[in-house]
Structure 1
Amino acid sequence: MYLRCIMALTIESAKQILDDYYDLVHPKYEDDIAFMDALEFLIKETNETEYMVELGGWYYEQKQFDLAEEYYLMAAKQGNVDAYECLGYIYYYGRVGQPDYEKAFHYYKLASDLGDVIAAYKLADMYKNGYYVPKDYTKYVQIIKGLYPLIQGATNTFDPVPEIYSRLAKIYVEEGNEDQAIQLLLIAKEFQSQRLIYSDFFGDLTIMKNIVKDLYSLIQFDPDYMDLFDLYYALQFPCKILIEIHNQEHIVEAKYEDEYFYISMDDKNYEDVDQFFLKAKIDDEHLSSQYVNVNYLEMLD
């Protein structure tokens, strides 16, 4: 792909640039520019909110949150439900300053009322935590349980199954239904594993870490059946693990040295398991995206 002048674009050629961009594994700077130019052109020519949200989402992933907010607001003015949800995130997490829970609640509520399940579980979190609204755990449970039938049987990797199932699992544990909680967490873990193949979005690893933590608070860890993301649990303790990916062996070791705990792989050190999953790469690909390429895992020590 190459840099194009906006003046030379047509609606069809701009759409083709978007299609080509999403086929790229490692977009270059000029690809990013062409992609942004194409979206700007489509916004100007069509005024369609999907392009506003798409460009806002791209800026959000680049952590340029002020620009993300600008395009989300543009789409929200025309009633776009995805823009409502995204603005909820902007204000809930304080991406453009301090958290603004009043605005977050406003936009989550707008999206939730239109059937957005992601906004609905975030709205539930606000009732649970007492953000802008009084704490209401009963309301939280009611919303999360109400979302279960809407998401049950979902197959899209990016459906909010991990987020909703992990919340519901905690509710079931409190109610004494640990078996059901375990089943939900196992499903959530598999969904999140698949999602991480395609997404290195900075929040997804945290979701996986919490799922693994909750799962192994309910069942015993068995190294004979571990998968890649079970390393979130295993690497909390001194150990040595062999990982075979693309038929190449790698040794991952968690150990103490002079009272300093760290994790190493391929002659690189990481201060903890979070940094390991965030930064470790094999063949220039993030380890977290290698889930389906793992041939073998073995606890050596």
Structure 2
Amino acid sequence: MDSDEAKADRSLYGLRYWTTLTMQEECGQLLLIMTCCLRRIDSNYKSGMCESCKHFYTKDIVFEADGDVKIWWFPRVFSQSHFGDRTAGSNACTLIVLLVAYKCYESSIKIEEFINEQLPSDKLINAFAESIIEGNEIHEKLLKSGCLVHINLTVPEAMIAAGKNMRCLTEWKSLVYMMDMRDSLHNELTEQLNEWNRRPPERCGSDLFIVLIAENRSVLFIFQKDLGLITMVDSHQHLPYGAVLAQVPQNRLSSICHWYHNVFLKFYGVSPDCYELSYLYFKRFEYGEMAAG
């Protein structure tokens, strides 16, 4: 039987699953993490992961500097295939990166420069965790309903599947390249970024978000011009690590392109010769426009 206090907490936060705070073993801790994240999904609870959950997922996080690239490697349990005690793997990466983009936009998250021994902001870690949980849930519902033509969603398919949160999201460009990513990614990104800076879209109300898809894996590049930084978000596991965040100054774009190509070589044993870049932003609407249409 639940205590009166437990019932009150469950009622207040709308927990989909309930687990006691006295669980100390790893399996119990994982269930607690899942509950904490689902609590926000179900009831719009705004505090993200509790301190216990945050400690569990960041206690083994590893900082690395590779030239100009600053990297945070999360533990294996913090990845789309394992977060929340998953055992079945995940193909929800396109959904996850779009949700990260939305949460950064909706919460006005500014991603400051990564510094050794100083974890990324709570807001960013919470947004990442929630996006993994939500993205996996949406993908599983699509699988069970038989709505998926292919198990890996395209960007337009993921925008539709993510629902009303994406109605402000606009695709500026989407380009497919049948060429070696190692030799071309930096030049192609630079060309489009220069055009974005010269002629930004009318009523652009956000930073620029770029989804890179290669070898059926989607990652997100966040260009925050006012901070002069580029941050990459990758929810996949990279054994022995889990997800990864990487960052460079904007004038060192070539460094993160080279580093990410090496991620494919080191962790997956491939060198992509075909990839897609989708350039996205959140459109600024005038008062009343969203309600009207």
Give the TM-score normalised by the residue count of structure 2: 0.29
Larger relative contact order (CA 8 Å, sep ≥ 6):
2
Compute the TM-score of the two structures, normalised by the length of structure 1: 0.28
Q: Which has the larger radius of gyration?
A: 1
Structure with more of its chain in helix, by fraction:
1
Which structure has greater strand proportion?
2
